[in-house]
Amino acid sequence: MRCYTRAMDPVPPAPLQPAPQPEPVTAQQTPKPKLWLWVIGGILLLAAGTAGGMVLGKQIYSKPALTPSPTPLAIATPSPDPTANWKIYTSSAGKYSIKYPKEFTLNENITTSVDGVKNPAPGTIELLPLGVTISFKQINKDVSLTDYLRKNSWCADIVPEKGKGIILDGKSGMIFESTSCGSSGITEVDVLNDGTLYTTQSVSNTSVFNQILSTFKFTDQELKEGILEAAVVRSPTCAGPVTDQKSCESPYPNGTFTIIKLPNNEVMQTVNTDKDGTFTISLAPGVYNLQNTESGIGKNIRNSNFTITGGKTTIQKFDVDTGIR
């Protein structure tokens, strides 16, 4: 049996379809940064950093603010007088007074030369060892101080043209400082008062000399001052019955006291006692009260009032109660 195979008609190839073209991708453009925004941002960042640094630095380095405290009310208190414990010399003939340190020696009507020879000098006092002399003499009341010094100068440096003005107890005078006059040079002060010429000389122009000058007073005034010579003691220093008052008291050294004028309680000045519990002071006539600047037990003064009479010396012992019984 024969088999026949039927040829299959060829199948025409399918027409080629064009390959799909990919859709073009549109590139997205990245926006360019705007330069001015960067500039502004940088400036702001810099400003913020600077401000922050300043604040931090201020917190680190600045001192904390101090809360102001109320200012205390200043109460004026008299300054202690450095001459309060000095001695007082009064010349009845010369009508003047001065104060001088207790350790100084005062000689009347003589002067001592550099080699120790004493020479008569009426109307003159000297203070040793400072080498201060004070003298007085009567001159013509109609002559001025400058005219007198110009006509009667004893040294080329003691002339009005080389002097300076000075006031002693309200009177005008002249001072000639550190002159070449004398054997070793001197400072001289001349003052004229009612026809009397007062001459003060010192071989050294020291603060002590200036303090002595500051105490110079004319005593021919209507209202003369008086002098208080005071001793301040503590008592009793013994317990029990006191049989001997002197053995139960002791000096009050280096104490500070205030002098009050009565009856108006006017603060006159402050004085200090020396190592022996004493002080000397000149005051206008009147009634006064001595007050201790320290308060409390053992500081009260029993007999604190005293009276000053013009031209006279009052001697008084002030008793500070210790409280011992």
Q: What is the pLDDT of residues 138-154, one digit of tens each?
A: 998 889 999 999 999 99
Q: Write down the pLDDT at residue 198.
A: 96
* Closest to 190 (Cα-Cα) out of 221, 224, 157, 223: 157
Question: What superfamily does domain 226-321 belong to in CATH?
Answer: Immunoglobulins (2.60.40.10)
β-bridge pairing 132-138 and 118-128: antiparallel
Is 45 in a helix, a strand, or coil? helix
Question: Per-residue pLDDT tens for 200-230?
Answer: 999 876 789 999 999 999 986 545 778 899 9
* Cβ-contact 213, 187 below 8 angstroms: no
Asked if residue 131 has pLDDT above 50, the reply is yes
Q: What is the pLDDT of residue 25?
A: 47
Q: Which two tokens stand for residue 26?
A: 């549109």
What average pLDDT score do residues 315-324 get? 91
Which of 52-56, 77-81, 124-128, 159-163 has the weakest average pLDDT? Answer: 52-56
Which tokens sit at 277? 């519990």
- C-alpha to C-alpha distance for 316 and 69, rounded to whole angstroms: 46
CATH 1.20.58.60 corresponds to the domain 87-218: no
Return mean pLDDT, the chain.
80
Q: What is the pLDDT of residue 83?
A: 85
Both tokens assigned to 318: 């002030």
Return the half-sphere exposure (C-beta side, CA atoms, 13 A cut-off) of residue 55: 6
pLDDT at 9: 52
| Interval 104-112 mean pLDDT | 91
Query: Which residues, 6 or more positions from 138, have their beta carbon under 8 angstroms from its beta carbon?
Result: 195, 196, 197
Domain 87-218 and domain 226-321 have a common topology: no
Residue 1 clears pLDDT 50, i.e. is over it: no
pLDDT(249) > 60: yes
Instruction: Please tell me the distance from the alpha carbon of residue 268 to that of residue 170, in angstroms, as a whole number.
Output: 20
Minimum mean pLDDT range among 73-87, 116-130, 139-153, 186-200? 73-87
Q: Tokens 């006017």 map to which residue?
A: 266
Best CA proximity match to 120, nearest among 109, 105, 132: 109
pLDDT band at 239 (very low <50, low <70, confident <90, very high): confident
Question: Binning pLDDT at 50, 70 and 90, where does residue 75 land?
Answer: very low
CA distances from 29 to 22, 24, 45, 74 (A): 20, 15, 29, 84
pTM to 2 decimal places: 0.54
The stretch 107-111 carries a mean pLDDT of 91
Count Cβ atoms below 10 Å from residue 243 Cβ, excluding itself. Answer: 8
Residue 274 has pLDDT above 50, yes or no: yes
Question: Which backbone phi and psi does 26 adopt, to 5 degrees?
Answer: -80, 115
Q: Where are the domains of the chain?
A: 87-218, 226-321
Among 152, 313, 304, smallest CA distance to 225 is for: 313
**Which tops the pLDDT comparison, 53 or 223?**
53
Pairing relationship of beta strands 105-112 and 118-128 according to DSSP bridges: antiparallel
Q: pLDDT higher for 75 or 259?
A: 259
Report residue 148 as tokens.
């007198």
